[in-house]
């Protein structure tokens, strides 16, 4: 519907005759005249009805803006101003009736002129569009609702041509936009194997019957992935003919639900199987606790049959002493909707008492009402028996039977407390309560362990514990009461019956040395000295001595312990040697915590280790600062490994006959960000002590192999460059050493024959069979082996012919004497001759002068290395050196 000719209306309104009002009233549209300053001049009845006015007097003479909705005032004023300037315009806006009603109007505005053509105001032809606005808004809301729906909504013709799919459907099916929708048929959305059935059975039902609902499968158009849906389709009819003209479909993605159902069914099947094979007993009760079902394992644990367990029968099987407690806890926690968990006993009909861990949880309906309980019981009888044994092992080492660290610290703490109180009790028989703490570490125990085996290492620990007790018994009595001795020697019956216990007793028997040098005979001792010995680590022991009058008493005992452990241990017919480092902390240092005393003795022990020939060291308070510094260095070293501050340097090895570089020895250097270059002699011992050497060794070997592989490709020769790398004692003790090296060889693709591993003879543990086997495995990989610092070990000649060695490396101490004394010349001559007679070659280490080089060439020594040729250099410098001399 269009507006009437506005010029005609304007002319009529301009006539100043008696028909003025009639000309306004005869139009069906609302009319209002507004003066230039916005005052209502005239309106017709249609407009009065729109604004809910009963008479003209209510509105005429008032500003028209009073009727306009506040949000539309600006737009209306703008239109009014524009028309007053001679233009025309159209606007949709809201008016507020006098009774508060809100209506939407559409106006067409033209200028209102007098006979002279002057603009007097604005004539507004209005139409009420409230209903159409509501219809359009409803349509828009419906479209928005359809588009925002999570369900897949579509519209198709009776032939199946799709005309609409909402956003959810497009996303579900993988359709890109409305244009793509119009190119598809509803049948395109089906899985190929379902297409015929849908076309012949489902679609005709929808068209003929007007509706169909059920589960079916659609597919993702891009990935062809099946999508399970629940479909509700219905026909849309022509209101005039009542015949279907289109098919609307609302589909819901039920893929997750179908998967969940499938998983639930599979879970139920698995649960039924699990119930049969489960090692725990499972039972169900109703809300009152009456048993409905038990599995076979429940019957096996309790000794009751299914019939005996049903109803209240299961509660009668609970041990009488536990029954009331268990049932009260069960119902109390069930009432509070908590999980029941308790350990209790069943008294089986055959008289056996079984400990169980019982657990239960309530089953509830959707309203939260308890409908029953699901419960399990696990047989913990063995665990309960073991706990008795564990109570003993909480304070004693299971292997050596010595007190452990916890009991040691407790006894030491008691001693400190009594000393501080000036007690004269048995533990501190002198008023000042002087005492000493000794910390003992077995040197090279790890090497013995990994070379001779764990079982023999365990026997060595047991024998060491017994020898310590025997040695200390020569100076005093064991600081332990009779009850504690009983616990140490006679564990509980369940522990004695335990297989592991029997094995430990057998090991103890095999380690027993009837010819002990230190007989235990406390009753004959007249000294006041008492001792307490404990095992505080794998290969670490701690001793309390009290009272001690003089420092010399403690050092005498430390020397005696050291000498005792120097004697061989006879284990399985094999003599095993081991030594110890001992740290001593005297009570005079004045610490108040037992942990501090033990730490002080530990610090002294590490100081002893650094002095190779010392058997003990006495802690000095100033060492704490050094210990902190060492700890800081350890922290820095760990970070250095992570941050790759360690660098591999290379020292050339020269063929003395041709004066050409035949290979390099890889050496590690640490470039500290604050301290600069740190000598290997400073950080390598720390790395070995802390176990960080393993990571350093792997890094050096891998980096050096990678570098030498690159050089071999860059400088191809008949004999590839060789790489010499030192093997640490820690590496030699690692069980996976062969696998580590083999993996690095394969990663770096280095020719195995060009890798030469240097072994210091003193680092070998002394187990000839295992060492020879390990070295032969390295040889089987194609790796060459070299004895480093040859001539400095006392047993080299006795073992040399038994080991698969390729090279003897002459120690620099002999090379430095060439040209100075004749003895060094003869020693070098002998080593070179020995190497040649055993089909080995020789490398002279530490060559620094022309005279040394000449004598080595005269002795036909194959290779040399030292500052005469080059100091250790970084890889970049080595590259330049190879370019010049290869």
Question: Residue 28: its pLDDT value, please?
Answer: 58
Question: Residue 453: its pLDDT value, please?
Answer: 84
Show Cβ contacts of residue 762 under 8 Å, excluding neighbours closer than 6 positions: 789, 792, 793
Question: Residue 148: its pLDDT value, please?
Answer: 80
Q: State how far the Cα of 798 lies from the Cα of 789, in Å rounded to an integer.
A: 16
- State what percent of residues in the chain have pLDDT above 70: 86
* Average confidence (pLDDT) over 871-884: 88
Give SS3 for 668: strand
Whether 339 has a pLDDT exceeding 50, the answer reads: yes
Q: According to the per-residue pLDDT averaged within each range, which of 259-268, 308-317, 385-394, 501-510 is highest?
A: 308-317
Q: State how far the Cα of 725 lies from the Cα of 667, in Å rounded to an integer.
A: 8
pLDDT in tens, 820-858: 787 888 889 999 999 999 889 999 999 999 999 999 999
How many CA within 13 A on the CB side of residue 877? 11
Question: Residue 522: its pLDDT value, please?
Answer: 35
* Average confidence (pLDDT) over 207-224: 89
DSSP tag of 289: -
Question: Residue 429: its pLDDT value, please?
Answer: 38
Instruction: Pick the more confident residue, 794 or 329.
Output: 329
* Average confidence (pLDDT) over 465-475: 91
Strand order in the sheet with 281-286: 291-294, 281-286, 370-379, 353-364, 340-347
Residues 292, 298, 301: CA angle, nearest 5 degrees: 150
Question: Residue 716: its pLDDT value, please?
Answer: 83
**Maximum Cα–Cα distance for the chain, whole Å?**
153
Question: Residue 207: its pLDDT value, please?
Answer: 87
Question: Residue 768: its pLDDT value, please?
Answer: 63
Question: Residue 133: its pLDDT value, please?
Answer: 85
Average pLDDT, rounded, for the chain:
82
How many CA within 13 A on the CB side of residue 374? 4
* Average confidence (pLDDT) over 612-626: 75
Q: State how far the Cα of 483 lies from the Cα of 493, in Å rounded to an integer.
A: 16
Question: Residue 149: its pLDDT value, please?
Answer: 84
Question: Residue 509: its pLDDT value, please?
Answer: 46
Whether 77 has a pLDDT exceeding 90, the answer reads: yes
* Average confidence (pLDDT) over 1-28: 48
Per the CB < 8 A criterion, the answer to whether 637 and 683 are in contact is yes
pLDDT in tens, 350-368: 999 999 999 988 888 888 7
Instruction: Pick the more confident residue, 355 or 769.
Output: 355
Token code pair at residue 639: 């970070």
In the numeric block, the tokens 């942990």 are attached to: 595
pLDDT in tens, 670-701: 888 888 888 888 888 778 777 788 888 888 89
**Would you place residue 45 in the very low, low, confident or very high pLDDT band (cuts 50, 70, 90)?**
confident
Whether 200 has a pLDDT exceeding 70, the answer reads: yes
Question: Residue 594: its pLDDT value, please?
Answer: 93
Residue positions counted in the chain: 886
pLDDT in tens, 474-521: 887 776 533 343 333 333 333 333 444 444 444 444 444 433 333 333
Question: Residue 520: its pLDDT value, please?
Answer: 35
Give SS3 for 742: helix
Q: How far is CA 488 from CA 6, 32, 229, in A?
A: 119, 114, 72
Q: State how far the Cα of 359 lies from the Cα of 376, in Å rounded to an integer.
A: 5
Nearest to 766 by CA among 748, 793, 739: 793
Residue spans of alpha helices (H) in 342-441: 381-393, 405-421
Report strand pairing: 353-364 vs 660-672: unpaired
Cβ-count burial of 807 within 10 angstroms (0-12 exposed, 13-18 middle, 19+ buried)?
buried
| Percent helix / strand / coil, the chain, rounded to 5 | 45, 25, 30
Question: Residue 767: its pLDDT value, please?
Answer: 56
Show Cβ contacts of residue 52 under 8 Å, excluding neighbours closer than 6 positions: 97, 98, 99, 101
Question: Residue 26: its pLDDT value, please?
Answer: 56
Per the CB < 8 A criterion, the answer to whether 247 and 155 are in contact is yes
* Average confidence (pLDDT) over 305-315: 89
Whether 611 has a pLDDT exceeding 90, the answer reads: no
Question: Residue 511: its pLDDT value, please?
Answer: 46
DSSP E strand stretches across 186-276: 211-219, 226-237, 244-253
Per the CB < 8 A criterion, the answer to whether 843 and 811 are in contact is no
Token code pair at residue 387: 């706990």
**Residue 733: how many CB atoms within 10 A of its CB?**
19
pLDDT in tens, 133-148: 888 888 787 888 888 8
Give SS3 for 651: strand
Show Cβ contacts of residue 524 under 8 Å, excluding neighbours closer than 6 positions: none
Report strand pairing: 477-478 vs 226-237: unpaired
* Average confidence (pLDDT) over 242-260: 88
Instruction: Pick the more confident residue, 538 or 444.
Output: 538
pLDDT in tens, 725-738: 988 766 776 778 88
Residue by residue, DSSP assigns 299-345 as: HHHH---HHHHTBTHHHHTB-HHHHHHHHHHHHHHHHTT--EEEEEE
**Would you place residue 27 in the very low, low, confident or very high pLDDT band (cuts 50, 70, 90)?**
low
Q: What are phi and psi of 606, to 5 degrees?
A: -70, -35
Q: State how far the Cα of 139 lies from the Cα of 801, in Å rounded to an integer.
A: 102
121-142 CB burial, b ≥16 within 10 A, e <16: bbbbbbbbeeeebeeeeeeeee
């Amino acid at each position: 519907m269009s507006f009437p000719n506005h010029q005609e209306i304007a002319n009529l309104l301009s006539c100043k005759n008696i028909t003025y009002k009639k000309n306004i009233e005869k139009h069906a549209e609302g009319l209002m005249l507004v003066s230039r300053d916005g005052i209502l001049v005239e309106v017709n009845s249609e407009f009065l009805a729109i604004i809910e006015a009963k008479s003209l007097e209510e509105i005429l003479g008032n500003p028209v803006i009073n009727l306009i909705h506040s949000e539309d005032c600006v737009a209306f004023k703008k239109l009014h101003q524009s028309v007053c300037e001679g233009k025309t315009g159209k606007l949709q806006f809201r008016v507020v009736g006098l009774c508060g009603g809100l209506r939407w109007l559409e106006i067409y505005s033209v200028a209102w002129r007098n006979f002279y053509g002057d603009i007097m105001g604005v004539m507004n032809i209005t139409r009420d569009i409230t209903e159409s606005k509501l219809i359009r808004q409803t349509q828009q809301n419906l479209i928005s609702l359809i588009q925002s729906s999570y369900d897949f909504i579509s519209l198709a013709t009776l032939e199946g041509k799709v005309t609409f799919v909402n956003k959810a459907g497009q996303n579900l099916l993988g359709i890109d936009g409305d244009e793509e929708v119009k190119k598809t048929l509803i049948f395109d959305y089906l899985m190929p194997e379902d297409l015929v059935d849908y076309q012949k059975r489902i679609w005709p039902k929808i068209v003929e019957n007007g509706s169909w609902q059920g589960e079916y499968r659609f597919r993702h158009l891009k990935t062809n992935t099946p999508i399970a849906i629940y479909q509700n389709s219905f026909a849309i009819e022509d209101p005039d003919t009542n015949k279907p003209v289109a098919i609307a479909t609302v589909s819901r993605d039920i893929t997750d639900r179908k998967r969940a159902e499938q998983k639930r069914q599979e879970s139920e099947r698995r649960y039924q199987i699990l119930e049969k094979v489960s090692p725990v007993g499972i039972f169900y009760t109703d809300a009152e606790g009456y048993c409905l079902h038990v599995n076979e394992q429940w019957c096996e644990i309790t000794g009751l049959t299914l019939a005996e367990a049903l109803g209240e029968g299961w509660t009668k099987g609970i041990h009488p002493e536990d029954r009331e407690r268990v049932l009260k806890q069960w119902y109390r926690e069930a009432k509070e909707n908590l999980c029941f968990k308790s350990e209790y006993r069943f008294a089986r009909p055959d008289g056996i008492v079984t400990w169980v861990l019982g657990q239960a949880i309530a089953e509830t309906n959707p309203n939260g009402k308890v409908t029953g309980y699901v419960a399990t019981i696990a047989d913990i009888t063995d665990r309960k028996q073991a706990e008795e044994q564990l109570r003993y092992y909480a304070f004693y080492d299971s292997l050596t039977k010595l007190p452990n660290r916890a009991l040691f610290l407790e006894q030491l703490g008691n001693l400190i407390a009594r000393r501080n109180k000036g007690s004269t009790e048995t533990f501190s028989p002198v008023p000042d309560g002087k005492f000493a703490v000794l910390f003992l570490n077995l040197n090279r125990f790890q090497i013995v362990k990994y070379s001779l085996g764990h079982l023999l290492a365990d026997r060595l620990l047991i024998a060491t514990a017994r020898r310590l007790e025997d040695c200390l018994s020569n100076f005093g009595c064991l600081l332990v009461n009779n009850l504690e001795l009983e616990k140490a020697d006679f564990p509980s019956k369940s522990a004695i019956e335990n297989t592991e216990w029997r094995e430990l007793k057998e090991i103890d028997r095999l380690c027993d040395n009837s010819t002990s040098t230190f007989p235990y005979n406390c009753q004959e001792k007249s000294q006041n000295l008492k001792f307490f010995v404990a095992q505080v680590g794998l290969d670490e022991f701690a001793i309390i001595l009290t009272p001690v009058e003089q420092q010399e008493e403690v050092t005498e005992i430390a020397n005696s312990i050291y000498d005792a452990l120097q004697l061989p241990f006879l284990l399985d017919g094999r003599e095993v040697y081991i030594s110890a480092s001992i740290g001593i902390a005297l009570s005079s240092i004045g610490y108040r915590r037992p942990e501090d005393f033990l730490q002080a003795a530990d610090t002294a022990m590490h100081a002893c280790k650094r002095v190779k020939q010392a058997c003990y060291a006495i802690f000095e308070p100033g060492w704490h600062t050094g210990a902190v510094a060492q700890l800081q260095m350890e922290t820095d070293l760990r970070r250095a490994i992570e941050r790759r501050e360690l660098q591999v340097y290379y020292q050339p090895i020269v063929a003395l006959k041709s004066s050409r570089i035949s290979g390099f020895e890889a050496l590690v250097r640490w470039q500290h960000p604050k301290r600069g270059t740190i000598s290997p002699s400073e950080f390598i011992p720390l790395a070995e002590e802390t176990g960080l050497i393993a990571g350093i060794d792997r890094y050096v070997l891998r980096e050096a192999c990678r570098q030498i592989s690159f050089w071999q490709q860059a400088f191809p020769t008949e004999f590839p460059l060789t790489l010499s790398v030192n093997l640490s004692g820690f590496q030699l003790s690692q069980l996976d050493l062969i696998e580590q090296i083999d993996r690095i060889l394969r990663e770096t693709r280095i020719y195995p024959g060009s890798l030469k591993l240097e072994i210091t003879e003193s680092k070998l543990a002394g187990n000839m069979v295992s060492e020879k086997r390990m070295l032969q495995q390295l040889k089987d990989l194609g790796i060459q082996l070299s004895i480093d610092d040859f001539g400095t070990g006392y047993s080299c000649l006795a073992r040399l012919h038994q080991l698969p060695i390729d090279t003897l490396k002459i120690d620099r101490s002999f090379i430095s004497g060439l040209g100075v004394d004749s003895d060094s010349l003869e020693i070098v001559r002998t080593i070179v001759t020995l190497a040649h007679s055993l089909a080995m070659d020789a490398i002279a280490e530490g060559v620094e002068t022309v005279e040394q080089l000449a004598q080595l060439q005269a002795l036909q020594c194959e290779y040399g290395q030292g500052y005469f040729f080059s100091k250790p250099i970084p890889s970049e410098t080595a590259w330049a050196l190879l370019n010049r001399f290869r």
